[in-house]
Structure 1
Amino acid sequence: MEELAKQCCQLLKNKKLTIAFAESVTSGALCAGFATVEGSGAVFKGGLVCYDGELKKQYLGVSDTMIEHYTPESAEVTRQMAIGLKDFISADIVVAITGLCSPGGSEAPYKPVGTIFTHILHQDKSLAYRDVFSGDAAAVISFAVTQTYQNIIKLLKSY
């Protein structure tokens, strides 16, 4: 993961772009990865860990209706988290992530434990991802962070 975070930072520096994160399931792991990269202050604006739904509502504009209709761990809520983060932190790229790393959330047959939703906004691009990983909570979070860094790298290399 450390190498992927470095690669993300270097690509962001090369393109003179900044990034911010809204994290639920990963609880700050994406931000922590960026914070350990030398020189990341040039590209990393910060992040918001909003594990609790009340924070998603208060700071990112997620409505009660949206949570009730789609659940806190959903593509729709993740998209709104990204939109809300863009209003909260001025960054060129914003990334939001939610999901289920252990039982007790909104898991269902169509959304098992291990399901992760990620949304990335950059300019006119709105990229939604849904992945399902296996393993314990630590493994799911690790896979989610790795996949998110890879998605950011893919976006940055696309132009």
Structure 2
Amino acid sequence: MKKDLINQCGQLLIEKGLTIAFAESATAGRLASEFSLATDAGKFLQGGVVCYDARLKEYLLDVPAQQIKEFTPESPEVTRSITLGLSKLIDADIFIGVTGLTCPGGSEKPEKPVGTMFIHAVKNGKQLLASRIWFGGSQEAIVAATVDYVVRQLITLLSESDSVKI
């Protein structure tokens, strides 16, 4: 990931007067970490929650246990729920949630192989982004590609004047 993209995204957040927070499972805090290194991060980064274990999704972010059981911890439904749950814990404008499969041992199956990632973003309760995407490579490569994808999507959304107005 190029630091200039993170800085560009951070600058767009600052220009729009927006703050951001992350609920991260598969990326385990990597998004928040990368954003914390951006210029003037304190002006837009509110924080995040690492909820790698499904129980944390339930207890910290109010994801119903039945939802995890029915859809698996790595699913669009649970990703949406961790994103909305985060909005009850942290005061921010934009919330990003990420779940997925970066290595074997989760809920992978032929239709949801390792490398499948789910990203959800909301602003003021309205959905900005809901993605299911696949990245190949090592666990590190999948996480890095996910961070890159999220940053590029945010830049696009923040650059579109109508989609992320204050």
> Which residue of structure 1 aligns with residue 164 of structure 2?
none
Q: Please tell me whether the aligned partners of residues 10 and 35 of structure 2 are also in contact (alpha carbons under 8 angstroms).
A: yes
Q: Give matches, 1:1-159, under 5 Å.
A: 1=1, 2-123=3-124, 125-126=126-127, 127-159=129-161
Distance (Å, rounded) in 1 between the aligned partners of 2:18 and 2:28: 24
Residue by residue over 1:110-151, the C-alpha shift from the partner in whole angstroms, topping out at 9 and shown as x without a partner, is: 101000000000135312001000001000001000001111
**Which stretch shows the higher mean deviation, 90-99 or 117-126?**
117-126
Q: Please tell me whether the aligned partners of residues 10 and 39 of structure 2 are also in contact (alpha carbons under 8 angstroms).
A: no
Question: Partner letter of residue 102 of structure 1?
Answer: C
Q: Please tell me whether the aligned partners of residues 27 and 98 of structure 2 are also in contact (alpha carbons under 8 angstroms).
A: yes
Q: Name the SS of the counterpart of 2:32 in structure 1.
A: helix
Question: Partner letter of residue 84 of structure 1?
Answer: G
Aligned CA distance change for structure 1 residues 157 and 140 (closer, same or farther; 3 Å): same
Q: Please tell me whether the aligned partners of residues 32 and 47 of structure 2 are also in contact (alpha carbons under 8 angstroms).
A: yes
Q: Name the SS of the counterpart of 1:88 in structure 2.
A: coil
Residue by residue over 1:82-131, the C-alpha shift from the partner in whole angstroms, topping out at 9 and shown as x without a partner, is: 10011111100000000000111000111010000000001353120010
4+ runs deviating over 6 angstroms? none
Q: Name the SS of the counterpart of 2:87 in structure 1.
A: helix
Question: Partner letter of residue 142 of structure 1?
Answer: A
Question: Partner letter of residue 4 of structure 1?
Answer: L
Q: Name the SS of the counterpart of 1:87 in structure 2.
A: coil
Q: What is the number of residues matched between the two proteins? A: 159
Distance (Å, rounded) in 2 between the aligned partners of 1:47 and 1:55: 13
Residue by residue over 1:9-56, the C-alpha shift from the partner in whole angstroms, topping out at 9 and shown as x without a partner, is: 000000000000000101111011111112110100000011011111
Question: TM-score normalised to the size of structure 1?
Answer: 0.97
Q: Name the SS of the counterpart of 2:23 in structure 1.
A: strand
RMSD: 0.9
Distance (Å, rounded) in 2 between the aligned partners of 1:130 and 1:34: 22
